[in-house]
A = this chain, B = another copy of it.
């Protein structure tokens, strides 16, 4: 079992080393170190975690960038052998505890950081206590450091419990880019999972609140549009140019102006975007990253179709070419009622939880939905729950933080949920 001290130390260590999709070398190595300390029956690392996935991973950085992150992980003290096992960025891990013939229960936690510069303000706890991000421009601004800690802590607690089934903890990389969910969902390790829990900390709920079953995640697709115009001297021959930056600006304006849909929530997000080389040259190139979301696959498809038209027409309007490439999509997946009820029940018996909240408005997106869908489609049940946590700043902002009190709450609720799920099994 892990002590509270150990969980806190782990979380702070992970917090100092945020890493992007498929670059979670330090994070994975550090988790593995804990798992080895605790002892697990099976531990899948590297390509083993994704053996059954036949698609192509998205958002994989090039070899040079992978190298940079590997070096950084080694320099920070990660085990070189473990890093080696992850090969070309096959980060993350699947840990298995086999404790009897009972049901197989899965727990999915995500582990990646976010491209954001963390606050240096004196009242930002990680800065004050010395565990602020050591990586420039990266930050655990969405609490995945806590998620990984939940996974480790729950596994440790179950190992000490009377649980007689199998527990599989999925430490999933690349959630922020929607990159890790699908490969891990199809990796093969979910095939025998009867019940799956996925968990998120914070969600603008205070410490002591639990959100039992979230179903409102938006389907999302990301895309990249490369606009190509014609360069010309902006002073001497402006009419000879075709302005890729102007095309991109038009596209940004019009993406946000896609009409709302009566049938439910839709979203547009844009960035990073850049273009132009110098103000005296008509911009020849501009690159736009963006995403669209919808509360259902239909809404998502509507947004995607509309956005495609916007991008192509904006390029045409300014006489430019555009290369539009859609990245992976995240589906929607509702939480099953039976597991939602489990969380509702076990949360309230925990002494540290004082409030149960249900959501009814759409929130962000989650590639946990890939894993949930996979389980549901083979007859299993899935549930996404939230563990409230006071934070000075909102998710994805520079002052986001996790109230460390919520670490223990999360482990308690998840541990009880696993045990209760076994008890309620028909």
> A residues touching B (Cβ–Cβ < 8 Å)?
114-116, 176, 204, 218, 220, 222, 231-241, 243, 245-246, 248-250, 252-254, 256-257, 259-283, 289-291, 293, 302, 306, 309-310, 313-314, 316-319, 361-365, 394-398
Contacts and interface: CB of A to CB of B under 8 A. Distances in A.
A256 B259 CA distance: 7
B275 A279 contact: no
Contacts of A318: 254
A239 B302 contact: yes
A273 B279 CA distance: 9
Given A245-B252, A275-B271, A280-B176, A239 B261 contact: yes
Nearest to A315: B313
- The 6 closest A-B CB pairs, nearest first, are A271-B276, A234-B269, A274-B274, A313-B317, A235-B364, A256-B257
Nearest to A262: B237
A121 to B, nearest CB: 15
Contacts of A236: 262, 363-364, 395
B276 A270 contact: yes
A246 B266 CA distance: 18
A239 B222 CA distance: 20
18 contacts: A231-B398, A233-B364, A235-B269, A235-B362, A237-B394, A238-B261, A239-B259, A239-B261, A243-B270, A245-B252, A246-B253, A246-B256, A269-B282, A271-B281, A272-B276, A272-B278, A276-B289, A280-B396
B235 A293 contact: yes
